[in-house]
């Protein structure tokens, strides 16, 4: 579950003159999945008074719980705030990506002689990507509708975790549509997602583990409707969903299943 931590705390770090900007984890290209995303240009906008007010608002926001986003505006380690725009480019397919976010000046390091923190850098936290990175791998055979909602969730992840969780929840509804699990009762009433997942289990004997995963994702999706979803919970839901999609639509899984079915049918070697 390494990804849980790395996406949850994802940021860029810039040196003191913004000459070198490095992502905290390799950023996959949304188009070709290559990891050679390069910085092309960075710009930043400073309005210290507005930023102090914004920092205060972020600090009190019920929606943003991660510490890095809650700018430590009272800390001596933070000495500057602002908005920034980064232009990124894929080194393989040349896709240009714009990222808008916030930065804060950060002081770090320890001098053994003076005992002072002394090294200045900037930490940049994305709030928007023009084309966001895929937070999980989506197998090519994943139904297009499901993929579309997940792309949408990747956009929202950076600015609104509750809405992001909601999109993930919808993607499960669509996954169950793909399996032709009814949305409505014969009498016309709507079937709750929880019951639809149970129906999926009934129809797909042996899929208990996948059903349990879908249920766990559903709980996180439900939290999205109540505006109390954390980035960590969303990332955990993504990891469970990724496993469901890989097991259902992944090529590797399909090939293994063919081998497994063949051997079981022959009660021995497939040759």
- Told to check if 89 binds Zn ion by CB under 5 A, we report no
- Told to check if 31 binds Zn ion by CB under 5 A, we report yes
Q: Which stretch binds Zn ion (CB under 5 A): 24-32, 149-157, 178-186, 238-246?
A: 24-32
Cβ atoms of residues 249 and 141 within 8 Å: yes
- Told to check if 92 binds Zn ion by CB under 5 A, we report yes
Q: Which stretch binds Zn ion (CB under 5 A): 82-90, 125-133, 173-181, 251-259?
A: 82-90
- Told to check if 181 binds Zn ion by CB under 5 A, we report no
**# binding residues, Zn ion (CB under 5 A):** 8
- Told to check if 90 binds Zn ion by CB under 5 A, we report yes
Q: Least CB distance from residue 33 to Zn ion, whole Å?
A: 7
Q: Least CB distance from residue 90 to Zn ion, whole Å?
A: 3
Residues 6 or more apart whose Cβ sits within 8 Å of residue 37: 23, 26, 27, 28, 29, 88, 89, 90, 91, 97
- Which of 29, 99, 170, 234 is the binder for Zn ion (CB under 5 A)? 29
- Told to check if 32 binds Zn ion by CB under 5 A, we report yes
Q: Which residues bind Zn ion (CB under 5 A)?
A: 29, 31-32, 34, 90, 92-93, 95
């Amino acid at each position: 579950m390494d990804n849980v931590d790395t996406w949850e705390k994802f940021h860029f770090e810039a040196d003191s003159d913004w000459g070198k900007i490095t992502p905290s984890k390799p950023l996959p290209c949304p188009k070709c999945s290559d990891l050679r995303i390069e910085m092309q240009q960075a710009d930043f906008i400073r309005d210290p008074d507005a930023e102090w007010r914004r920092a205060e608002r972020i600090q009190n926001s019920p929606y943003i719980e991660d510490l890095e986003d809650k700018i430590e505006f009272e800390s001596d380690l933070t000495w500057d705030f602002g908005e920034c725009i980064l232009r990124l480019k894929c080194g393989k397919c040349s896709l240009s990506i714009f990222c808008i976010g916030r930065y804060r000046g950060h002081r770090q390091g320890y001098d053994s002689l003076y005992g002072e923190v002394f090294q200045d850098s900037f930490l940049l936290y994305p709030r928007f990507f023009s084309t966001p990175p895929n937070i999980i791998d989506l197998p090519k055979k994943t139904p297009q509708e499901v993929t579309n909602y997940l792309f949408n969730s990747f956009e929202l992840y950076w600015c609104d975790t509750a809405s992001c969780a909601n999109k993930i929840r919808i993607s499960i509804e669509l996954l169950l549509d793909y399996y032709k699990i009814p949305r409505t009762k014969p009498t016309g009433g709507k079937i709750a997602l929880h019951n639809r997942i149970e129906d999926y289990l009934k129809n797909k004997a042996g899929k208990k583990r996948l059903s349990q995963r879908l249920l766990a994702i559903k709980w996180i999706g439900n939290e999205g409707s109540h505006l109390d979803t954390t980035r960590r919970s969303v990332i955990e839901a993504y990891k469970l969903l990724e496993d469901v999609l890989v097991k259902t639509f992944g090529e590797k899984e399909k090939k293994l299943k063919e081998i497994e079915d063949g051997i079981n049918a022959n009660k021995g070697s497939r040759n």
